[in-house]
Chain A
Amino acid sequence: MRPSSFRYHKAESVDHALELLARFGEDGRPLAGGQSLVPMMNLRLAAPEHLVDIGGLPLTDIAFTDTAMRVGALVRHRQYLAEPRVAHHFPALHEAVTWIGHPTIRENGTTGGSLSHADPTAELALAAMLYDAVMIVRNTAGERRIAAADFFEDAYVTALQPGEMLVAAEFPLPPVGAAGAFVEFAERRGDFAIAAIGVSITVADGRIATAAIACSGAEPRPIRAPEIEMMLSGRPLTDPQSRAAGRRLAAAIDPVGTFLTTADYRKALIGELTARAIDTACARAASR
């Protein structure tokens, strides 16, 4: 359980990193927190020839504008928890981050790494889908902006091309008063989820105005549930009919079983978590 040989390059700046990544193409990979890449290398499931260490680059800020939150690619998971505006604007994101691994993983893992690694049940990927985040991707030629929905293509597959690097994720600010909830189910605290649901709602006159629901565990990437979102809008906070929404989502998905969980179980779990997440979000909105 030790990695194969590789060449190591320390990026001195973002441009330097992009140059190096352009030079190595398919054979090069960014190394950020190393919390996903290094285990794979130790297990010899990955053996990149060149590692471009971007860990020291100054992409470490969570910045707010009037319309968006911009999270640098090297923001550590823990930073979300230390920034009160995250919990204020993006309660489901804040809650999601508490579910990522363990304290030491959260100290060292990065946003860019998590989103680029694209584990099917990664909490940040789900939150990016939920809040319609936009991935800011650069290569030596320039910048692309990719909607989360287009970014996550499959398990561990994203729209990133060789030579490209994620520099930030931009989360548009939800309207004031938006409420949210994130619920996850894993066999043990800190494990990657079997399933998770994020809910974000806006409220008008004691009713859900708009709803967003994102789900992991149903497909090899996080998904949104547009029909359920439609169903919810206009429902009173006191009776969102969350059970029906959960059942409807469960009926619509077709997860695959693994050697640890059956497809039926995942379906049922997603239905249940959906109902609970909706209830929690509505209760929070109502208690304001």
Chain B
Amino acid sequence: MTIDITLTVNGTARTVRVEPRRLLADVLRHDFALSGVHVGCAHGACGCCTVHVDGTPRLACLTFAVQCDGKAIHTVESLGGVDATHPLQQAFSIEHGLQCGYCTPGFLMTLAPFVDAMVAERRVPEDAEIREAMSGNICRCTGYHGIVAAVRRAVTEQIETGSAQP
């Protein structure tokens, strides 16, 4: 049995025919050719597959694509384009918040809304708060240090450039 569903992925709506059991992660990777969606565990425990469904972070390995019919999905590809220009992406690079990069899209998609929220509150979070915000994501390479620094940098820089504006 297959079902036709329409997903608006990174701004473009497309209808695809899928088996109900197909995980959103697989559909994004295969039908939408989005290599930035990574699967690290397929049981909800590593955060590698985090995407946004209607603006909210969600694990694409714990979601059936059919559940997302009619919804808007964003993946890491939409964050800062091929040049990775999003302030959080830039901060990751400066602070060495990534090594093999496998966990990176998941961290970015988990943390981008957190960074936005902090910037909106004009508040630089404590390290413990940053670490709690990323507690559902496993990075085996970096020891988290660079990622924490990247979040701090992304928030600080955006608050500063924001305050420079009239």
Residues of A within 8 A of B (CB): 1-8, 10, 31, 34-35, 38-39, 42-43, 51, 53, 55, 101-105, 107-108, 189-190
Contacts and interface: CB of A to CB of B under 8 A. Distances in A.
B146 interface: no
6 contacts: A5-B1, A6-B20, A6-B21, A8-B3, A104-B50, A104-B57
The listed residue with most B CB atoms (<10 A of its CB), out of A35, A104, A105, is A104
B58 A107 contact: yes
A190 B59 contact: no
A7 to B, nearest CB: 6
Nearest to B21: A3
Interface residues of B, number: 32
Contact of A7 (B20, B26, B114): B20
Given A34-B62, A38-B61, 8 more contacts: A1-B41, A8-B66, A39-B44, A42-B62, A101-B136, A103-B135, A107-B58, A190-B135
A237 B56 CA distance: 43
Which 9 pairs between the two chains have the least Cβ-Cβ distance? A102-B136, A8-B20, A1-B42, A39-B43, A38-B62, A102-B135, A104-B57, A3-B21, A190-B135
Contacts of B63: 34, 38
A4 B44 CA distance: 17
B34 interface: no
B67 interface: yes
B4 interface: no
B132 A35 contact: no
Contact of B21 (A4, A35, A102, A189): A4
Interface in B10-36: 19-21, 23, 26
A1 B49 CA distance: 14
A107 B21 contact: no
Given A104-B57, A190-B136, A43 B43 contact: yes
A108 B59 contact: yes
